[in-house]
């Protein structure tokens, strides 16, 4: 059995919870989760990799078991989240590491990679987008809020925070919904129901436009540094389209792109397949 440790790191006064497994001397692998989840989304993946990698999976600030400081005094933006996670890697001793990025983890990890290209050994993007063509029409209500940040447009986004929507995110595009454990969406909904969590998530919906604005910067990083890159994509994702996965090869012709017949949370149904692809990809 793989031993997984559950720890908290003090990141300049902010407690960041993380899961850790595997030998510390092994190649490091940083797993970055997405909305509305936390590091628990990697519960099936970590044991499949920890024999060969030092795996570290933090909860982003405001998510999971990490601190959720009040919005007064802490800006819930992707720049700020990336700064915290960048500092986290220094505190826990990840000097050079491969990145696994998903959803919100992608703009977080891509910021870190673009700032510290020498620290990145490889990137695995599982439904983590960096191209306009990867954004589906599912983003239209959020785009409306970017264009007109009115209270009405902000309130319209509360539909994304309901238990029903969380469950839908996990099961949409999955061949058999009975294969998706209720544990993930149940825990996500627990975190979303905490007082103040809704306003934090609405802030991040609004700030996601900063990620789209940085797509050219991310793409320049890909072209310039050409990191070893694997796109492992649930092809039925309602938010991030397969075209976004294919687009990585425009800037990194040697990138590997693999599609799986599942939805957004691909690890819920294809953890073994994705882990096998990662082991092969990271073997060299």
Domains of the chain: 4-281 (3.40.50.1820)
Bond before 226 cis per omega within 30 degrees: no
Residue 7: strand pairing partners: 18
Tokens 């993380």 sit at which residue? 18
Tokens 């499949």 sit at which residue? 48
Instruction: Give the pLDDT confidence score for residue 1 in this predicted structure.
Output: 57
> Is 264 noted as a catalytic residue in this protein?
yes
Residue 125: strand pairing partners: 101, 231
For every residue of 240-271, DSSP letters joined together read B-HHHHHHHHHH-TT-EEEEESS-SSTHHHHH
The answer to whether 49 and 278 are in contact (CB under 8 A) is yes
Q: Is 115 exposed, middle or buried (0-12, 13-18, 19+ CB in 10 A)?
A: middle
Question: Regarding beta strands 4-11 and 14-21, do their DSSP bridges make them parallel or antiparallel, or are they unpaired?
Answer: antiparallel
Candidates 33, 167, 172, 264; catalytic one = 264
Backbone angles phi, psi at 214, to 5 degrees: -90, -5
Instruction: Give the pLDDT confidence score for residue 284 in this predicted structure.
Output: 66
Instruction: Give the pLDDT confidence score for residue 79 in this predicted structure.
Output: 98
Most distant CA pair in the chain: distance in Å? 52
Backbone angles phi, psi at 69, to 5 degrees: -65, 155
Structure tokens at 44: 């099936």
| List of the chain residues with pLDDT < 50 | none
């Amino acid at each position: 059995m793989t031993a997984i440790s559950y720890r908290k790191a003090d990141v300049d006064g902010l407690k960041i919870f993380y899961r850790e497994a595997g030998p510390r001397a092994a190649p490091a692998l940083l797993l970055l989760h997405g909305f509305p989840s936390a590091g628990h989304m990697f519960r099936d993946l970590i044991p499949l990799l920890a024999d060969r990698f030092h795996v570290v999976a933090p909860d982003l600030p405001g998510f999971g078991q990490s601190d959720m400081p009040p919005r007064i005094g802490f800006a819930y933006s992707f720049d700020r989240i990336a700064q915290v996670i960048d500092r986290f890697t220094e505190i826990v001793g990840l000097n050079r590491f491969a990145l696994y990025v998903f959803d919100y983890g992608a703009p977080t990890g891509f910021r870190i990679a673009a700032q510290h290209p020498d620290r990145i050994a490889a990137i695995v993007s599982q439904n983590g987008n960096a191209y306009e063509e990867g954004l589906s029409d599912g983003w239209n209500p959020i785009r409306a809020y970017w264009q007109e940040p009115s209270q009405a447009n902000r309130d319209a986004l509360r539909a994304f925070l309901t238990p029903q929507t969380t469950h839908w995110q996990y099961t949409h595009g999955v061949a058999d919904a009975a294969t998706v454990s209720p544990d993930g969406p149940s825990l996500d909904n627990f975190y979303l129901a905490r007082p103040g969590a809704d306003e934090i998530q609405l802030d991040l919906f609004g700030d996601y436009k900063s990620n789209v604005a940085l797509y050219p910067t991310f793409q320049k990083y890909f072209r310039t540094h050409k990191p070893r890159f694997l796109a492992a994509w649930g092809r039925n994702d309602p938010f991030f389209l397969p075209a976004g996965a294919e687009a990585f090869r425009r800037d990194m012709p040697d990138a590997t792109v693999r599609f799986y017949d599942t939805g957004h949370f691909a690890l819920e149904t294809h953890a073994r397949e994705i882990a096998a692809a990662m082991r092969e990809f990271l073997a060299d």
